[in-house]
Chain A
Amino acid sequence: MSLTLEQVKRIAHLARVEISDAEALTTQGHLNGIFQLIEQMQAVDTTGVEPMAHAQDVYQRLRDDAVTETDRRSAYQSVAPETEAGLYLVPKVIE
């Protein structure tokens, strides 16, 4: 498998990472080297093997539907790039 330059740009777009043409070219070389390593997996027959998502067989715990956290909005928003009246500010999405 080999990624084309167009694919690299498409992936960067999906990941919301701006990429210049020059960067895309370097990245293409690196990614194709890495995928060459990853391709070793394809030689293995894994028919019938249960995928392992986690080291331990744990289930999501349920907790009581009760308020346990205190209101720390101002502390948490103090680290945001831009806020106003308790809201996070971003460029206008809907005209």
Chain B
Amino acid sequence: MINKSLKELSQALAAGQISSVELSTLFLDRIERLNPTLNAFVTVDREKSLTMARAADARIAAGTAGPLTGIPIAQKDIFCAEGWTTTCGSKMLANFVSPYDATVIQKMHADAGLVSLGKTNMDEFAMGSSNETSFFGPVRNPWDTSRVPGGSSGGSAAAVAARLAPAATGTDTGGSIRQPAALCNLTGLKPTYGVVSRYGMIAFASSLDQGGPMAASAEDCALLLNTMVGFDERDSTSLDRPVEDYARDLDKPLNGLRIGLPKEFFGEGCDAEVMAAVRAAIAEYEKLGATTVEVSLPNSHLSVPAYYVIAPAEASSNLSRFDGVRYGYRAPDYGNLDDMYAKTRAQGFGAEVKRRILIGTYVLSHGYYDAYYLQAQRIRRLIANDFVEAFKSCDVIMGPTSPSTAFKLGEKAADPVQMYLSDIYTIAVNLAGLPGMSVPCGFVGGLPVGLQLIGNYFAEGQLLNVAHRYQQATDWHLRRPASVE
């Protein structure tokens, strides 16, 4: 049961082979047993989950169930959920019990009838690529517990990989869905910016943040994405567009699909064996009827520098709300108001978050704004234009998700720049606002490798189709770590 797809679980629930309470209990028991090793969940509340499961069973019995009603999932702890502790991986919010639901949570709970198993660990305020910046300690990769699961959605990735949950939510500002998906052998999708509401999703860099699904397969991602999307007037950047069924094109043949291979993604900087797995996946696509064409993203080498101006600038503004007044941590001892702010923020934020706040404060400060912030925004335009040009000669772009497989805990923790460079292939997609996926495509030394798929704006359905057809022809996505018996 724990390895079944969302569709199979849905059928089992509809046929009465298992109840949502039984299914949820199965996963809650696994969490209880395996989470002490993995640290994938930071909050689990069995009673709350089972209450939701009972309500789902009632909906199933009454014939009012949706396609995913009663299926348990894990929620990244960046999504506010009413009555649930919502920490964002930070001491600042360690005791914050959200008084409201994020739109994504509301859609999943009230509309879709999904059952939340708990909140998953993450890099503090989603700032990190290894899940080591979490106040609640690192998450361990189920494929090798001496290694990181990636980040920032590392808890969600580890939870699904170890089958502590059938699927999970993640968020992606610079690669935080795709990179952990790659490192944990999952399928993850970052939608086009504006497709999934950001209301109640704790803000890191608002012009880049986007929520999305993390699951075992493209089909699971499509079904989960269907429950997450939609216009939301409470998010000022939410896009008002017709609702789509993201599963509708899953089976479409790939004959004639033009795959763009950016020469910048196939040069130096990527582990040779990772690259070999990626090339093998592309050869598989050619067997499925696709053709390849070389494209160029000439400014992609500037994506990491531009990102580390834009994202910290937006973060320094967004995180100014954490001042010890309206919610969250307040320092126990302080003098005047200024001192209260400074001590609260010094004690409540971890080192990486403080670094990014300081970078952001500096690049936005008088005299430096033009040289850094505006220059980064101009380069962002160049990067986005590169994609516009590339998509004139191809339908989808492919390359590695991450330049290496999962690295050891502590390996890059001391050097921020080394850590930042692990997102070298994913960041440009966020800057342009395009949809991107990571799909399992092989192993190097027993560790998973991810293939990145990048689509044009609103091409989520096509990306899922391209991923699904590959998963019909290969079985990489069905491999499970040894800890999953």
- B431-445 to A contact mask, C-beta < 8 Å, 1/0: 111100000000000
Q: A90-B337, A91-B334, A93-B337 are in contact. Are A50 and B420 (CB under 8 A)?
A: no
- A15-51 to B contact mask, C-beta < 8 Å, 1/0: 1111100000001001101111111111010100111
Task: State the interface size on chain A (CB cutoff 8 A).
Answer: 51
Give the interface centre of A18, A52, A80 by most chain B CB atoms within 10 Å. A52
Q: A38-B309, A55-B433, A79-B327 are in contact. Are A27 and B341 (CB under 8 A)?
A: no
> Which residues of the partner chain B approach A33 to less than 8 Å between Cβ atoms?
415-417
Question: Does more than half of chain B's interface fall in helix, strand or loop, or is it mixed?
Answer: helix
A46 to B, closest residue via Cβ: B378
Q: Are B381 and A52 in contact (CB under 8 A)?
A: yes
- Is there a chain A Cβ closer than 8 Å to B361's Cβ? yes
Q: A56-B194, A91-B340 are in contact. Are A17 and B379 (CB under 8 A)?
A: no
Give the interface centre of A17, A38, A50, A78 by most chain B CB atoms within 10 Å. A17
Q: Are A15 and B357 in contact (CB under 8 A)?
A: yes
Separation of A75 and B82 alpha carbons in the complex (Å): 11
> Which residues of the partner chain B approach A27 to less than 8 Å between Cβ atoms?
354-355, 358
- Is there a chain B Cβ closer than 8 Å to A66's Cβ? no
Q: Are B358 and A40 in contact (CB under 8 A)?
A: no
Q: Are A55 and B432 in contact (CB under 8 A)?
A: yes
- Is there a chain A Cβ closer than 8 Å to B336's Cβ? yes
Number of A-B contacts (CB under 8 A): 168
> Which residues of the partner chain A approach B329 to less than 8 Å between Cβ atoms?
81
- Is there a chain B Cβ closer than 8 Å to A67's Cβ? no
Separation of A36 and B98 alpha carbons in the complex (Å): 39
| Interface segment out of the listed B113-121, B262-270, B369-377, B467-475 | B369-377
- Give 27 CB contacts A-B under 8 Å: A8-B358, A14-B361, A15-B357, A16-B341, A17-B345, A17-B346, A17-B349, A17-B354, A17-B358, A18-B339, A18-B343, A27-B354, A33-B415, A37-B305, A38-B372, A40-B302, A41-B305, A41-B375, A42-B375, A44-B379, A44-B382, A50-B381, A51-B377, A51-B378, A75-B100, A88-B326, A91-B337
Q: Which residues of B line the A interface, CB within 8 A? A: 96-100, 192-194, 207-208, 233, 236-237, 239, 299, 301-302, 304-306, 308-309, 316, 320, 323-330, 334-343, 345-346, 349, 354-355, 357-359, 361-362, 365, 371-372, 374-382, 384, 415-417, 420, 431-434
